[in-house]
Amino acid sequence: MQIILQSVYFSYDKVNKKKFKYDDYTVKNINMHIQQGEFIAIAGHSGSGKSTLIQLIKGLFSPTEGTLLLAGENPWDRQQRRCTQQKGNKTQFDSIGLVFQYPEHQLFAATVYEDIAFGPTQQVKQEVLDRPAEQWVQERVKRAMQKMNLEDERFQDSNPFDLSGGERRRVAIAGVLAAEPQILILDEPTAGMDHFARTSLFQTLHQLNQQENVTIILVSHRLEEILAHASRLMLMGDGQILRDGDPRKLLADFAFLESIQMEKIEPMQFSIALAEFGISVQDPSNVSEVSQAIKNYLTATAR
């Protein structure tokens, strides 16, 4: 499902549209095209409009100005909404999964299974099923649990509140995955996660992205993480998209990063330093690749 935003503006407060004031808006003049199957990161300071933007994409708010198109259609269009009502109320927004910051705070059911099954159980009412509803839900929950490495027997019937913080996070993400969204948006999913959990989450995201062609939109403060995983980066500031492109190019533009008070990250700095010695690395965040390149250089110059 393609995502298109055309001159989108949004304000949390009522604005006088006749007296247009740029500062009235939380996100401003957003234009973007996202194709199905991309792996995109959005970065920017707290308050730069990242969270608002992803909530607009998920349809939690409608744009104050401008147009949002999902798969070529405007889900907020009045006629469009009438059509969806006739089709059991399933909208394009239902194909988008949004993992909020600290999603584990929203767990509510008595068992892990019930919590993950909540989404699919609601979906049963909208979908045309090819098998008994109960079985359909069960399969979805099982697949979601596998994706988040929760297939261990002990999880299914345990109370989410008996799990550790990292495990609860995985349960919460599995709950979103159970709806099998075409587009998955994650807001700071690795905050508070340890190294194992982060590595395994990114493995899952790449799997979804490559094998099932799921679009991944990752909001993150950690630019190292973005450099290592995303193939496209949008840098936001003051409610606007300031830059949109290849993370390896954008994160190497130190002058620009400094002008918006974002940090230079070590892998990028180091790979630029290495380039002066004629050492080029494909993935600057890959420690073994970088170390290997240095070793090769040293052996070559020692001769």
Partner 1 sequence: MIRIENVSYQYPFSDRQVIRNITLEIQKGEHIAILGANGSGKSTLTRLLNGLLFPQTGSIQVDGLLTTNSKTIGDIRRKVQIVFQNPDNQIVGTTLEEDIRFGLSNIGFPIEEIESQVNHVLKLVGLEGQQRKSVHALSGGEKQKLALASVLALSPQYLILDEATAMLDPGSRRQFLQTIQQIRSDEQRSIVTVTHYFDEVVNVDRIVLLKEGQIERIAEPQQLIQHPEVLEACGVELPYLPAIAQQLRTIGIKVNPFPTIQELVDVLCR
List residues near partner 1 by CB under 8 A: 45-47, 101-102, 162-167, 188, 191-198, 221-224, 261-263, 266-267, 269-270, 273-274, 277, 279, 285, 287-288, 290-291, 294-295, 297-298
Considering the complex, state which of residue 72 and residue 278 has its C-beta at the smaller distance from partner 1. Answer: 278
Q: What number of other Cβ atoms are within 10 A of residue 31's Cβ?
A: 13
Considering the complex, state which of residue 209 and residue 285 has its C-beta at the smaller distance from partner 1. Answer: 285
CA neighbor of 8 nearest in space, from 33, 29, 26, 34: 29
Considering the complex, state which of residue 179 and residue 227 has its C-beta at the smaller distance from partner 1. Answer: 227
For residue 228, the minimal CB distance to partner 1 (Å) is: 10
For residue 143, the minimal CB distance to partner 1 (Å) is: 23
* CB-based contacts of 273, cutoff 8 Å, min separation 6: none
* Three-state SS at 214: coil
For the four alpha carbons of 18, 22, 27 and 30, in that order, the dihedral sign comes to positive
Q: Pseudo-torsion of CA 100, 106, 110, 114, nearest 10°? A: -40
For residue 165, the minimal CB distance to partner 1 (Å) is: 6
Task: Mark out the alpha helices in 178-286 (DSSP H runs).
Answer: 195-211, 223-229, 247-250, 254-259, 266-275
Considering the complex, state which of residue 32 and residue 294 has its C-beta at the smaller distance from partner 1. Answer: 294
* Three-state SS at 176: helix
Considering the complex, state which of residue 185 and residue 201 has its C-beta at the smaller distance from partner 1. Answer: 201
For residue 294, the minimal CB distance to partner 1 (Å) is: 7
For residue 211, the minimal CB distance to partner 1 (Å) is: 26
